[in-house]
Amino acid sequence: MDDFTDDQRMLDDTVARYLQREYPAPAGRAALSAHADAAASPHWRAWADLGLLGLALPAEAGSMEAGLPELCVLMQRFGQHLVREPYDASALLCGQLLARLPAGDATGELLAALAAGAAAPVLAHAEDPGRAAAHAVRTRAERDGDQWVLDGLKRRVAWGAQARHLLVSAVAPQGISIFLVPAGTPGLARQGVVGLDGRPYADIALAACRLPASACLGLASPALQTAQDMARVGLCAEAVGAMQALLDTTCEYVRTRHQFGRPLGAFQAVQHRLVDLLVLLEQARSLTWLAARTDPDHASFARLTSAAKAKCGQAARQLGEQSIQLHGGMGMTDELSVGHHVKRLMAIEHTLGDTRHHLARYQRLASTSTPQ
């Protein structure tokens, strides 16, 4: 972008060079296992060495203390290159959640391990994937002496089958709280599967999981809501990067592909489609960066986040459909990046609330906001 600061431009250049040099193209990648461990990825360690995992974490975690705009610079590049590691789910969402929970030994140690690349915690929150509201949490946490006992079922946890640290939301006597559940806890069962976008997901069952009193990291609200909204904006930036890659690939294809003795791009109908797609992309980009440059603690942040998420969902669907159509049958093959980008965009739309959810949320927040 032309309005990046010097530091953001340097960050963007650093990430772009690393991904171009080290990260394989979609067609040349080995498929991930349903039980893949993000912390074991060489890229995870490399990003820690570059300071990317702790980019926006508190200084005590050994971070750069950057903000949401810098995270979006990073996520936009990740979207262009279809990065599969759970930066959004772990470094961004869990990192911001841990940073906003009450300070404690367990929280501080996990934040430091995340920034150093030694951990990749994931949040186990959703129970009914079709609902994003907090009241959908039915996992229970009961006190038994100096221990907590957790019972419940979490669904579609990204990278959850092999994660060494799970942040589990549960209804406790004091309200919905976040619990740290380490791998190997008795009563913890995980069933992994590879999703549409090639990433591993897991359903996680907790049956009388006994945890020490220190496992309760604090009340979920408002830390969880703010962290989720920051992750949503990050996902929007990833979607913008993926949509930009789709549009660039499609423009190049219609420029070089000939039909009836002329390049496809010479036909006015094709040109009009590409212009419409560019308008959609720029609308999504503008809303994403408007949200990214808003203080996460400001009253308008949640509303702008939902506006960006809804617009990105709408734009991604049209860009995906048109890119595949303009590529013809080739757009559906794994040999091209087009289908891979489209599948990732579909997964992003249904992560942390889909387009319909965020349109309804925006309407609700807009109707209750006080004019400034």
Distance CA 60, CA 111 (A): 9
- The residue among 181, 280, 278, 287 whose CA lies nearest residue 232 is 287
- CATH of range 223-368; options 3.40.50.720, 1.10.520.10, 1.20.140.10, 1.10.3720.10: 1.20.140.10
Distance CA 351, CA 87 (A): 14
Distance CA 166, CA 217 (A): 12
Residue 35 is predicted with a pLDDT of 93
Question: What phi, psi does 328 have (nearest 5°)?
Answer: 70, -150
Name residue 334's amino acid.
D
- Render 265-327 in DSSP notation, one character per residue: GGSHHHHHHHHHHHHHHHHHHHHHHHHHTS-TTSTTHHHHHHHHHHHHHHHHHHHHHHHHHHH
Distance CA 238, CA 88 (A): 9
User: DSSP code of 153?
Assistant: E
Q: Considering the domain delimited by 122-219, tell me its CATH architecture.
A: Beta Barrel (2.40)
- The residue among 272, 266, 269, 362 whose CA lies nearest residue 312 is 362
Q: Are 344 and 337 in contact (CB under 8 A)?
A: no
Q: Are 171 and 140 in contact (CB under 8 A)?
A: yes
Question: What phi, psi does 220 have (nearest 5°)?
Answer: -70, -40
Splitting the chain (372 residues) into consecutive groups of 10 residues, what average pLDDT does each group show? 87 96 87 93 96 90 82 97 96 97 94 95 87 71 97 96 97 97 97 95 97 97 96 98 96 82 77 94 98 96 98 97 85 81 96 95 87 44
Pairing mode, strands 122-124 and 216-219 = unpaired
Token pair for 358? 């965020």
In this chain, the answer to whether the domains covering 122-219 and 223-368 adopt an identical fold is no
Q: Where are the domains of the chain?
A: 6-115, 122-219, 223-368
User: DSSP code of 151?
Assistant: E
- Render 162-226 in DSSP notation, one character per residue: S-SEEEEEEEETTEEEEEEEETT-TTEEEEEEE-TTS-EEEEEEEEEEEEEGGGEEEE-TTHHHH
Residue 135 is predicted with a pLDDT of 52
Return the H-helix or E-strand segment holding 354: none
Residue 208 is predicted with a pLDDT of 97
The domain made up of 6-115 has a fold known as: Butyryl-Coa Dehydrogenase, subunit A; domain 1 (1.10.540)
- The residue among 220, 221, 222, 228 whose CA lies nearest residue 305 is 228
